[in-house]
Amino acid sequence: MTSVKRRCRSRCRRCPRRRSSSRLPLRLPQRLRLPVPSSPSHAPLGAYVRLPAVLLAAALALAYNLGGYPLLEPDEGRNAEVAREIAATNDYVLPRLNGLPYLDKPVVYFGAAAAVMEVLGPTETAARLPAYLFTLATIVVVVWFARRRWGNDAGWLAGLALATMPLVLAYARTTIMDSALSFCTTLAILAFWDGRPVLAWAAMGLGAITKGPVAILVPLVTLIPYALLTGAKIRRLFPLAGLGIFVLVALPWFIAVSHRVPDFPHYVFVRETFERVTTRSFHRTAPFWYYLPIVPVAAFPWTVPALGRLKNWRFTWLARRVNPQAQESVLLASWVLGPLLFFTLNQSKLPQYVLPLMPAFALAAARVLTREAPELGGGIGVARRTYVALAGVLGLALVSLTIWLHPPFALTPAERAAIPPTALALGIVLLASGAIVWHAGRAQRPRPALLVLGYALIVMATPIVSRRLMAAVGEDRSSARLAQVIQNSGADVLGVGAFPTSLPFYLRRPIPVATATGRELTSTYIADHYDQFRADSASPLAPQDSWRERAARCPTPTVFVVRAGDKRLRAAFDSLLTLLAVEGHYAAYGPCAASSAR
């Protein structure tokens, strides 16, 4: 009887637990949290309002001196001129370079820059402003996502981390479409993560008309491996509504251009995509390990806390199918490793290709520093010693450039004079950053706000301390001063085997080019269709030796522009015309006239 009563009471005691456990999943939050031992090193970041203020300061630093130096050739000059011609012609469908169709890249960034130029005029600020705005938009998306998922602290910190990465800084201030692509891929991946596949496909559609099929590949090579590793259903990535919105966003421009240029589909899918990935015809090859040193530096200093608990990867791997926090770590790892593997196998390699990977490092650093990954032992003191050691070594290396500077490439006198003070300033800031992180990350008395500022300090200071250096680089790699000399002469211009890509932008008009292949225009599409464009009497492309007749007859005063390093052509012009100027990588002769011809 006693045993029966004990069993009954035992059942009664267990019954409520069973009923509670059956309903427990309905009451659990979406994310499971593991207990973390209380420790001063786990002090919260966000019991203050300083983190948004630091993020605002970082955003302003990104824009500092945005238009304070000339457009850099070839990329900035070419892209700015394409945008200027769109604004001048109001043709927002077919991009043009020097009056010829330019189909190497889609239209979104060019159209955005052209729209800004319609308001601000064709200036360096107008050309670079869309890159800055797309970067801000990416930061906003990252902050919005991380705040909703992990709280205010993680959201603001993720945005700050993204805004203070060297690669993000560089391309937020460059007239190039990679910042726009990064915005589209970031929005797509985070929308998929948040269960919004239609929004994700809309972002991929916008990315496709920003930089082509890579905007589709980056999210998919991130999310398909993640789905395979965690047991998620891949078919959920491809809803009919999402595919429909993709077609609705991307197809109209594609059809409009194909109607005007019938061979555009073949060029974009075969020449510009398939051959770029599988062949070396674009002359951008690099070793297999090319990105291994680039990625850690590109996301520095936030790679240090982001990878600070990498040694505990085993927990994440074992729990990847059942633990939501482990799945978050797997997704962030897939975001880095999937696209990185694709870009490594790609025959065409450039540093900016890994820009879409930077938000993953920002989110990973925010999770660890704000205890959003307790299974990894997160907290503001994570990897503090490692960062201090790196900051010390790199800071001393930069300071040493003031007494030792033997670069493996040629420098102008202005660049050689600007590098030592810039390196000294950056070295001092980096040493100060390490000292701040060491002091603020102490377990006995942590100071989260100061520690975050220490991490962000180096990149926030870069635009300010590098102002003189960027002006020197702009003088060397731009045709702004050459254009001023030509404008003062009041003559026409003819490029002879040379096309300074920023020259038509600063002259506000296309310039004819005497060329054998058209490759001087740095456009694969124009070079591939050289014979077709040459047959047009209104084409700016002239036969290679046509300059000789023009220099001899000189129907109108003309300045001839050649490469400064082309000894053969320079010797020919030295015997015919007066040297007008040597600016950067180009030399100008003339203007020709009956009285000046020798």
Mean pLDDT by 10 residues, the chain (598 residues): 45 42 34 35 48 92 94 95 97 96 95 96 96 98 93 91 97 96 97 94 96 94 93 91 96 95 88 72 74 94 87 73 81 94 88 96 90 52 87 91 68 87 94 92 81 92 94 92 92 95 96 94 92 90 92 92 94 92 91 62
Nearest to 331 by CA among 137, 144, 145: 145
Q: For the chain, what is the largest distance between any 2 Cα atoms, rounded to a whole number of angstroms?
A: 129
CB contact at 8 A, 83 and 127: yes
E strands, 78-223, in order? 96-97, 100-101
CB contact at 8 A, 125 and 420: no
Phi, psi of 260 (to 5 degrees): -85, -30
Cα–Cα distance measured from residue 410 to residue 83, given in angstroms and rounded to the nearest whole number: 31
Cα–Cα distance measured from residue 46 to residue 48, given in angstroms and rounded to the nearest whole number: 5
The dihedral built from the CA positions of residue 288, 350, 95 and 525, taken in this order, carries a sign that is negative
Burial class (CB in 10 A: 0-12, 13-18, 19+), 330: buried
CB contact at 8 A, 178 and 163: no
Cα–Cα distance measured from residue 32 to residue 448, given in angstroms and rounded to the nearest whole number: 25
Residue 378: both structure tokens together = 């997160």
Structure confidence at residue 73 (pLDDT): 94
Residue 318 CA to chain centroid, in angstroms?
Answer: 34
Reported as half-sphere exposure (CB side, CA atoms, 13 A), residue 23 has a value of 6
The dihedral built from the CA positions of residue 118, 124, 127 and 129, taken in this order, carries a sign that is negative
Cα–Cα distance measured from residue 595 to residue 320, given in angstroms and rounded to the nearest whole number: 81
CA separation (Å) from 477 to 75, 283, 460, 583?
A: 11, 20, 25, 9
CA separation (Å) from 395 to 61, 165, 298, 420, 485?
A: 21, 17, 17, 13, 41
Residue 366: both structure tokens together = 């925010």
Does the model's pTM come out above 0.75?
A: yes
Cα–Cα distance measured from residue 122 to residue 507, given in angstroms and rounded to the nearest whole number: 11
Burial class (CB in 10 A: 0-12, 13-18, 19+), 195: exposed
DSSP letter (8 states) at residue 193: H
Residue type, 206: L
Phi, psi of 209 (to 5 degrees): -95, 15
Residue type, 198: V
Residue type, 282: F
Structure confidence at residue 348 (pLDDT): 81
Nearest to 364 by CA among 415, 423, 416, 295: 295
DSSP string for residues in 364-387: HHHHHHTTS-GGGT-STTTTHHHH
